[in-house]
Amino acid sequence: MTEITAPKSPVTAAEFANEIREQLKYTQGVTPEQAKPADVYVAVSAAVRRHLVDSWMKTQADMVNGNTKAVGYLSAEFLIGKQLRNALLNAGLTEQFNEAVESLGFSVQDVVDAEYEPGLGNGGLGRLAACFIDSLASLGVPAFGYGIQYRYGIFKQEFDEAGRQIETPDYWLANEEPWGHIDYNRDQKVSFGGEVVEENGRKVWKPAWSVRAVPVDYMVPGYASGRVNTLRLWAAKSYDEFDLLTFNKSEYLDAVKPQVKAENISKILYPEDSTPQGKALRLEQQYFFVSASIHDAIRVFYPGQDKPDLTTFADKITFQLNDTHPVIGIPELMRVLMDEYGYDWDTAWTITNKTFNYTCHTLLPEALEVWPSKLIGELLPRHLEIIEKINDQFESELKAKGVADETIKDMAIYTGDSVRMAYLATYGGSHVNGVAELHSQLLKDVTLKNFSDVYPGKFTNVTNGVTPRRFIKLANPRLSDLITEGLGTDRWLSDLELLKGLEPLAADDEFVKKFAAVKQANKVDFANYAKREYGFDIDPNTMINTMVKRLHEYKRQALKILALIARYADIKSGRLSADEVLPRTVVFGAKAAPGYYLAKQTIQLINNVARVVNNDPDVKGKLNVYFPWNYNVRLAQHLIPATDLDEQISQAGKEASGTGNMKFALNGAMTVGTLDGANVEIRERVGAENFFLFGMTVDEVDALYAAGYDPKKYYDANPRLRAAIDMVADGTFSNGDKSVYADLVHDWLTKDWFMTLADFGAYTDIQAEIEALYVQPLEWNRKALINVANSGYFSSDRSIEDYLERIWKTGPLA
Ligand code: NTF
C-alpha cells in the first residue's frame, strides 16, 4: 500500500471548471468560447489564488498575534520560476486543473505555456532565495521574502549569426500577471539625497527627493503545511507622476521626468553575477527595498502603534541578508531607531545587531561589494555618518581586544574612501554563514579571516539546498512516481532524507531498470522539447552531457569546450576511430554578464564549435553540441531530468556551493567534478565510487600559484591540449579568421587565472572511466540511483532547518 500525503483540495474537477468559468466571465469578460489559452491561464491562476487566500490570511494573523519570531529574507533577487504548476501542487489542485482545462476545451500544455517566466534573478543566488521561501512555507515558518519587482528581469539571451550573445530586454510584465497583488494602500516612502542638519542637538536628515515604494505581494504556498507566506516585492512609483505646468508649455518629455527618475529604481535587474557594479542606481535599488521592508516590518508587527516598543523588534523578526546587496539595512535600522523613534545609540545598536545575520555567497574577494563613500554621502548622507560611527565603535572594540593596529586597519569598515559592505555585515549582525562546508571554512581561513579570529562565535555554515517540490515532483514526474513506488509513500516530498530508503533497491536489477527507463523517457521528452523550442535534433539514445550555469572563467566552461575540441580532433585525425567513440550530446546553457568580454567570447566559441561539429559528417552520430539560448528555470526543469552526466568543474576553492549540482544528483545524473563547493559534500554522501572526481584540490591550487603558474608549460607538454588550442587560434571555428578568439587564446596561454590548462589532463583522463561505466547501463544506473538515494540532505528544507537552529532561533507557527 502506498501512503499518499499530498494535499487534496475539497473541490472536484467540475467545480474547479466552474470557478474558472466564473473568473473568465467576471474578471476577464470572455466566454469560454472566446477565451484564448492565455485567458484561461489568467483565470486558473486567479482561481488557485482564491483557494489559498484563507490560509494566507490565517498565516499572517497567526504570525502577528503569536509569539513565533518571523524570518525576513532580504534579497535583491528571487528567481521564482513559473508559478502556476507549483501553486496547483501545493493547493492540491493538479488533477482538478488537468481535467477542468480539458473539459473547457483547452490543452493543459497551452495553458501552462501561456505563463511567462519572471526572471528576477541572475543565477544560483536568486534561485536559492526562491527555494528558501518555498521551504519556509512548507515547514510552516512565518516568513517574508523582501525584494524588488523589477520591471525588466534578467535580459533575454539570443545568439546572432556569428554565435555572439545578444541581450534583449525581458519585459515580463507586458501582459496580465495574475500572481502579484499590488497593494497601493500599504506603500512606504523612501528618501534620498539632501543633507543632515542639527536641530535641538539632534541630527535631522533633510532628504532632497523621495519615491513611493508600493508592495506587490506574491503568495508563497507551503507544500502540505496549510501555510501560505508572502513574497513582498517593491515597485518604485513617483509621487509626482506628471508635471502639468511643464506639459502645458509643450515640454512633453520633461513633464514625465520625475516619474521616470522614480520608476528607474525598480526598472531593471542588474545582470551581474559575482562582480559588483559600482552604479549609483544599484545602491538606490538596495536602499529602496531595504528601507521599505524595514518600515513594513514595523508596520506589520506593531499594528496601529504610534510609539511601538521596538526593543522587542528582534523577537518579532530576524532579517537575513542575502549577500551584501541588502547590507545598507544595518545603518538604516540604526537610523530608523534613533531618528524616527528616538532610541539612543546603544539601544539601537543592540537591537540592530540582534536583528541581522549575513550570508556570504562568494569566495572571490573582488565580488564583495565596496561602495565609494562619496556616493553613499551624496545619496544617503545620514547613513554615511552612522557608518563612520559604527566604524569608530568597531575600532575601539578591536583595540580593547588587543588587536594589532595593522590588523585593525585591514579590517576597517570605512576606509575614508570607501565602505566595505561585507565587513559592515559581519560586524553589524549576529551570525555570518557560508553556503557549503568548504566555503564556510575558506571564509574563516581566508576571506574573512581577521573577523573570524576576533569573533569566532559568529561564524557558521549552512549548506545550500534545493526544493524537491519544484525540482523533483514538478520537473520529473516519472521519477517522482518511481520514488513513491519504491518507498511506498510520498512523504519524501516533505522529508527528503527518506530517499535513503531507495538504497537497497539499487541491488534490485528490476528496479534499476525501471529507473533507467525513467531517464530514457525523460531524454525522449527533452529531445522533443528541444526540437519544438529550439529546432534541435537531439538523439535521445546518446549520452546527454550537460553544463548549465552562469558563464564565468572560474566555472571553467573553457575546460569543457577545450576537451570537446580535443575529442573532435581525435576523431578527425583518426587517433580515435569513430566506432571507439561513445556517442555524446553535449548541452550548454549559460548567460554572460553583458560587459564580461572573455565570458562572451567563450559563448561565441561554444556556438561555433557546435556549428562546426554538428555539420561535420566525420563525427556524425558521435559528437553533437547544442547551446539552447536563454537558459532559465523552465529550461532547467526540462533538461536536468534528462541529463546523464553533469559537469561541476570549477577551479577548487572558487565555487561557493553550487545548487545545480544538487538538482542533477537528485534527478539521477552522475557528476564529473572537482573538490569544490558542495561537490565535496555530495561526493561524501553518495560515496567516492559514485562520483567522477578529477583535478587539483584547493591546497594544490594554492601551491601551484605560490610556485608560479605558467599555463604555457601545459600547452607545450600536452599534444591534445595544444591541438585544441591551436584549432581555436587558427580559425577552425571562425571561418579562418584568426582574430576572433585571439584574446581568449592569449589569456589561456599567458594568464589562465583559473588553471584550466593545468586541469586539462586530469579532466580528459577521467573521460575513459566515465565511458567505461556508461557502456554498462545497469551499473551506470545503479550508481545514479545511489546518488538519488543519498542526496536527500540537499533539500532546502534541511537548509532552512539548519538556519532555524544555528542562526534564526525560531520555528514553525504553533
Ligand atoms: C552564488 N553566488 C555562488 O557562486 C554559488 O556557488 C552558490 O551556489 C550560490 O551563490 C547560492 O549560494 C553569487 O551569485 C554571488 F553573487 F554571491 F557571487
CA of 265 to the centre of ligand 1 (A): 24
Strands 584-589 and 543-548 turn out to be parallel
* Atom 17 in ligand 1: residue holding the nearest Cα: 361
Q: Name which of 76-85, 579-588, 677-686 the model is least confident about.
A: 579-588
Q: Closest ligand 1 atom to the C-alpha of 439?
A: 6
Ramachandran assignment for 596, one of left (phi > 0), alpha (psi -120 to 50 degrees), beta (any other): beta
pLDDT of 730-760, one tens digit each? 999 999 999 999 999 999 999 999 999 999 9
| Contact status, residue 332 vs residue 383, Cβ threshold 8 Å | yes
Distance separating alpha carbons of residues 702 and 213, to the nearest angstrom: 47
Distance separating alpha carbons of residues 422 and 425, to the nearest angstrom: 5
**DSSP E strands: which ranges in 418-537?**
418-420, 432-434, 459-461
Q: How many CB atoms lie within 10 A of CB 249?
A: 11
User: Best of 127, 421, 435, 754 to mutate for ligand 1, by most ligand atoms within 8 A of CB?
Assistant: 435
The pLDDT of residue 30 is above 90? yes
* Atom 10 in ligand 1: residue holding the nearest Cα: 125
* Residue 53 pLDDT grade (very low, low, confident, very high; cuts 50, 70, 90): very high
Quote the pLDDT of residue 578: 73
What is the rounded radius of gyration, in angstroms, for the C-alpha atoms of the chain? 27
pLDDT of 148-200, one tens digit each? 999 999 999 999 999 999 999 999 999 999 999 999 999 999 999 999 999 98
| Contact status, residue 685 vs residue 661, Cβ threshold 8 Å | no
Mean pLDDT to the nearest integer, 505-523: 98
The pLDDT of residue 577 is above 90? no
CA of 803 to the centre of ligand 1 (A): 17
CA of 360 to the centre of ligand 1 (A): 8
Distances from the Cα of 551 to the Cα of 271, 331, 604, angstroms: 12, 34, 11
| Contact status, residue 664 vs residue 642, Cβ threshold 8 Å | no
Distance separating alpha carbons of residues 657 and 592, to the nearest angstrom: 19
Mean pLDDT to the nearest integer, 506-518: 98
Helical (H) or strand (E) element with 157? strand 156-159
CA of 104 to the centre of ligand 1 (A): 44
Q: Give the max Cα distance, the chain.
A: 87
CA of 677 to the centre of ligand 1 (A): 10
Q: Closest ligand 1 atom to the C-alpha of 124?
A: 9
List, chain by chain if needed, residues with CB within 6 Å of any ligand 1 atom.
123-125, 128, 273-274, 323, 361-362, 367, 435, 464, 655-659, 677
Residue 553: name the closest of 606, 592, 508 by CA.
592
Residue 65's contacts (CB-CB under 8 Å, 6 or more residues apart) are none
Enzyme catalytic residues:
361, 549-550, 555, 659, 663
Where do the domains of the chain lie, and which CATH numbers do they carry? 1-65+83-116 (no CATH), 66-82+117-464+800-808 (3.40.50.2000), 468-794 (3.40.50.2000)
CA of 374 to the centre of ligand 1 (A): 28
The pLDDT of residue 274 is above 80? no
The pLDDT of residue 309 is above 90? yes
User: Best of 323, 361, 550 to mutate for ligand 1, by most ligand atoms within 8 A of CB?
Assistant: 361
CA of 278 to the centre of ligand 1 (A): 19
CA of 125 to the centre of ligand 1 (A): 5
SS3 811: coil
* Atom 18 in ligand 1: residue holding the nearest Cα: 274
User: Best of 657, 676, 681, 682 to mutate for ligand 1, by most ligand atoms within 8 A of CB?
Assistant: 657
Q: Closest ligand 1 atom to the C-alpha of 435?
A: 12
CA of 127 to the centre of ligand 1 (A): 10
The pLDDT of residue 405 is above 80? yes
Quote the pLDDT of residue 362: 95
CA of 558 to the centre of ligand 1 (A): 20
pLDDT of 342-380, one tens digit each? 999 999 999 999 999 999 999 988 889 999 999 999 999
The average confidence (pLDDT) of the chain is 96
User: Best of 79, 132, 362, 596 to mutate for ligand 1, by most ligand atoms within 8 A of CB?
Assistant: 362
Q: Closest ligand 1 atom to the C-alpha of 122?
A: 14
The pLDDT of residue 278 is above 80? no
Say how many Å lie between the first and final Cα of the chain, rounded.
31
Residue 246's contacts (CB-CB under 8 Å, 6 or more residues apart) are 254, 255
Quote the pLDDT of residue 795: 98
Distance separating alpha carbons of residues 266 and 288, to the nearest angstrom: 9
Quote the pLDDT of residue 775: 97
Quote the pLDDT of residue 7: 87
Q: Enter the C-alpha cell of residue 653.
A: 576553492
* Atom 5 in ligand 1: residue holding the nearest Cα: 658
For 624, phi then psi, to 5°, come to -135, 150
ipTM: 0.98
* Atom 11 in ligand 1: residue holding the nearest Cα: 125
User: Best of 77, 78, 122, 125 to mutate for ligand 1, by most ligand atoms within 8 A of CB?
Assistant: 125
Q: Enter the C-alpha cell of residue 512.
A: 534499476
Q: Closest ligand 1 atom to the C-alpha of 127?
A: 11
* Atom 2 in ligand 1: residue holding the nearest Cα: 361
* Atom 16 in ligand 1: residue holding the nearest Cα: 274
CA 770 to the chain's CA centroid? 29
Quote the pLDDT of residue 279: 85
Q: Closest ligand 1 atom to the C-alpha of 364?
A: 18
Q: Closest ligand 1 atom to the C-alpha of 274?
A: 18
Q: Closest ligand 1 atom to the C-alpha of 361?
A: 17
Give the sign of the dihedral formed by CA 17, CA 22, CA 25, CA 28: negative
Residue 3's contacts (CB-CB under 8 Å, 6 or more residues apart) are 488, 489, 490, 491
pLDDT of 247-267, one tens digit each? 777 777 777 787 888 899 999
The pLDDT of residue 465 is above 90? yes
pLDDT of 69-124, one tens digit each? 999 999 999 999 999 999 999 999 999 999 999 999 999 999 999 999 999 999 99
